[in-house]
Amino acid sequence: MTVTTGTTGTATRVIQRQIMPLDRDMEVMSLYIDLEDAHLDEDKYVVGGTQAAKDINNTQIRQATGSGRRVQPEQLIDRTRFKVLPGQGVSFGSLFNGFPASYWRRWTIVDKVRLEVTVSGADAHIIVNKSLANGNSQRVDSATTTEPGQQTFSFDLSLGPFVDGGWYWYDVVAGENECVVSANWTAEVPADRAEHGTVDMAITTMNRPDWCARLLQQFGNADLMPYLDTVFVMEQGTQLVEDSEEFPAAQELLGDKLRVLKQGNLGGSGGYARGQLESVRKGTATYALMMDDDVVCEPEGIIRQVTFGDLARRPTIVGGMMFNIYSRSRLHSFGEVVQPWRFWWLTPEDAYVAWDFSTRNIRSARWLHKRWDVDFNGWYSCLIPRVVLEEIGLSLPLFIKWDDSEYGLRAKEAGFPTVTMPGAAVWHVPWSDKNDALDWQAYFHHRNRIVAALLHSTYPKGGRLLRESLNNQIAHLVSMQYSTAELRLQAMEDILQGPAHLHEMLPTRLAEVNALRKQFSDAVLVADRDDLPPVRREKPPKRGKSISEVPSKRAQLIKAVTGPLRQVRPTRDLAADFPEVEVPASDAKWYQLASFDSAIVSMNDGTSAALYRRDPELFKALLKRTLQLHERYRREWPELAETYREQLGEITSPDAWERTFAPWTGTDEAGEA
C-alpha cells in the first residue's frame, strides 16, 4: 500500500482502501456495499440549515435502482471505484469496506486514522458514521460536493472511543447526477514501520489440482504481488497440481515466486509444517500464511493481514474469516475460542453462526459491533509472524484437526495474541456439510483434542473433557457406530505411547485407521439405496411415532439409562437380515438409534448411507475397554500432561520436522543434504 514519508520520523501509510468484488461477482456484493435502506431519511442529510439531499425521495430511488437494492454491472467501474446512480444512497458499512476501528485500537499502535473519500460528481453527499460496541450508530461528519469535477474530502478520526467494539464507515448519496466514489484509510506510523512486510504462502494440497491452481492464480493479483515472497505448495497427492490445465496460467503469473514441494501424505499439519519450516530456514519473509487449497480468497484480505501484522503492538497472528463457498454471502466462522472447561472449540457463545450478510449487514446487526477476541484462527487463512515460528516452534505432528487451535493456544501462552480480522476472508466448504465426527477423522478429532488438552488445559484432569469423552463414547455405542467407537479408543491408546510417537505415526496412521474401519458394517458406505435390504420390522413404531420427533428431556434421560442396558439383550431375529428403519442424517441422534437393532443411516454430505447393526458382544467388549481407558486417564492425567508439556519444544522443533521430512527432502537425520 502507498506510503508517504514525512520529516518528523513518521510516515503516512494506507491501511485499508475501498474495494469492489473481483470479476464483478454480484453474489458477494452485500459484503462490499449495502443498498439496504437506500431511501435514507432526508432529514439525516441536512447540513448547516441546507438540505443537501433536497431532490431525493423514495420514489426516485426506486425508479433509479429497481428494488433499491440491486447493483447494476456498470456501477462497478474497477477494483476501487463505484458509481452511485442519481438519487441513490449507498452505504460502505460492509464487511470489506467498513473500518473495524476497535480491532485497530486494541491490537495496533494506531490511535487515529484519516478517511479520504474521493468523489466525482456534483451535489453528492458523504456521511461518516461510527458505531458503539452495543451497535448504536452515530453520525460523525459530512461533506457535500460543490462541482462536477473530482474532489477529495479528508476526515480525521480518533480510535479512542472503541475500547470494546465499534466501526467507522461512510455513506454516499448522489443528487440529481451520478457520482463516482473511491476511498482510502490512512494512518501516521513510525518511519520504521512505513514499509510493508512480505509473506510466504503455505498451501497444502491433496488431490485438488484444479482448485489449487485457481487459488494460485488469485495470488497473481497485481496489487498482492509486491507482498509475496514465496508461494509454497506442499503437494501430497497423486493428482498433481502441475498436471491441471489451470496450472500454466498460475505459473506464468507467479514466476519464480512459486515452488511446488512434493512429499508423502502427512496431512494438513505435515503440509503446513513443511511450509513453516521452509519459511523459517529461508528467513527472508516477515510472515508465513497458512491457507487451504480448496478456498476462494479475497487477495485484498492478505494485504490487510500483512498491514495489520506490520502495525501490531507485538508479534501477532492475524487470521481471516470464513464464508460458505456454496452460499457466498453467508459467514461461517467469525472467530473461534476454546472453551476451557469443556476444552472444545466453538464460536463465542453470544455471537452467531451462518449469518447471511445479504439479509442483514453490519449496520443493522448489533452483535457484529462488539470486538471478538479469539484463541486461534483456522488455517484456512492464518498469517503467522516468522519470529513466532522461531520462538515457539512449528505445528504439532497431528495430521489433521486441532493443529491450528493448539498453535493459537501455544502462542497465547507465549505472549503472542491471535486476531481474527474483519475485512480479511476466504470462501470455504463449511464444516456442517461434512461427516468428520463419524468417519476416519473421528480418530484424529479425539486424539488431538486430548493431546491439546494435555498441553494447555488449565483444569485438573482436563476439566469436563474426560466425562464428555465417556458420554460421547457411550452415545456412539448405543447408536451402533462401532467403527467410530473403536477409532476413539485407538486414539486414546496411542496417546499413552507418549509424544515422540506422534512423528513416528504421521506417515502411516491414516492407512491403518482406514483399514481398521473396513471391519465394521457402519463404516461401509453405499451410494445406491437399492444395494441395501428393504426395511422390515416385527412391530410398528410405538404409538405411530416418527423418527423425526424429538423426545422430551425427561424421555432422553430415561433413554440414557435404559439405552445401554438394552444393548446387551439379543437382537430381534428379523433385524439380522433387514433394517428396521431408515434414518436421515439430521435425525441420527443417539436417543433415536438406541431403540433399533438395525438401521439404514444416511451421511451428512448426502452422497451415501450405511447399514448399522446392533451387536451385543461387540458392545460389551468396547464398553469394557471404554471404562478401563477412561479410568486410566483419570488416574494418570497429571503425569501424562507433564510428559507432553516437557517434550512439546522438541516435537515441534525444526530439527524434529526435518527428520520427518527426510524421505522427501534428501536430508539425513542431522538435517544436512
Residues 6 or more apart whose Cβ sits within 8 Å of residue 37: 89, 91, 363
Residues 6 or more apart whose Cβ sits within 8 Å of residue 570: 616
Q: Note the pLDDT of residue 673.
A: 46
Single out the residue of 160, 168, 121 nearest to residue 141, CA to CA.
Answer: 168
Q: Judge contact between 155 and 113, C-beta under 8 A.
A: no
Q: Note the pLDDT of residue 61.
A: 35
| Residue 241 in grid coordinates | 497440481
Alpha carbons 366 and 358: distance in angstroms, whole number: 16
The size of the chain, in residues, is: 673
Question: Three-class SS of residue 287?
Answer: strand
Per the rule left: phi > 0, alpha: psi between -120 and 50, beta: everything else, 283 is: left
Q: Note the pLDDT of residue 47.
A: 34
Residues 6 or more apart whose Cβ sits within 8 Å of residue 342: 463, 464, 465, 468
Alpha carbons 361 and 213: distance in angstroms, whole number: 32
Amino acid code (one letter) for 526: V
Partners of 337 in the β-ladder: 346
Question: Three-class SS of residue 584?
Answer: coil
How big is the chain by its Cα radius of gyration, in Å? 28
Distances (CA, A) of 266 to 196, 400, 448: 33, 9, 15
Q: Judge contact between 171 and 127, C-beta under 8 A.
A: yes
Burial of residue 168 (number of CB atoms within 10 Å: 0-12, 13-18, 19+) = buried
Alpha carbons 408 and 160: distance in angstroms, whole number: 28
Q: What is the bridge-based pairing of β-strands 582-583 and 598-602?
A: parallel
Q: How many CB atoms lie within 10 A of CB 530?
A: 7
Task: Enumerate the active-site residues.
Answer: 404
Residues of the chain with pLDDT under 50: 37-68, 670-671, 673
Q: Judge contact between 380 and 292, C-beta under 8 A.
A: yes
Single out the residue of 219, 197, 361, 232 nearest to residue 301, CA to CA.
Answer: 219
Sign, CA torsion 196/197/200/203: negative
Alpha carbons 420 and 103: distance in angstroms, whole number: 9
> Mutual orientation of helices 482-495 and 616-651 as an angle, nearest 10°?
40
Phi and psi for 269 in degrees, rounded to 5?
-65, -35
Amino acid code (one letter) for 256: D
Alpha carbons 416 and 394: distance in angstroms, whole number: 14
Residues 6 or more apart whose Cβ sits within 8 Å of residue 387: 315
Distances (CA, A) of 621 to 3, 168, 564, 614: 68, 61, 13, 13
Distances (CA, A) of 578 to 425, 465, 534, 612: 48, 37, 6, 10
Q: How many CB atoms lie within 10 A of CB 71?
A: 23
What letter would DSSP give residue 327? Answer: S
Q: CA 76: distance to chain centroid?
A: 28
Residues 6 or more apart whose Cβ sits within 8 Å of residue 81: 18, 20, 180, 181, 182
Q: Note the pLDDT of residue 431.
A: 73
Question: Three-class SS of residue 291?
Answer: strand
* Chain position carrying cell 447526477: 177
Alpha carbons 104 and 166: distance in angstroms, whole number: 10
Q: CA 431: distance to chain centroid?
A: 9
> Mutual orientation of helices 465-478 and 616-651 as an angle, nearest 10°?
150
Q: Note the pLDDT of residue 595.
A: 86
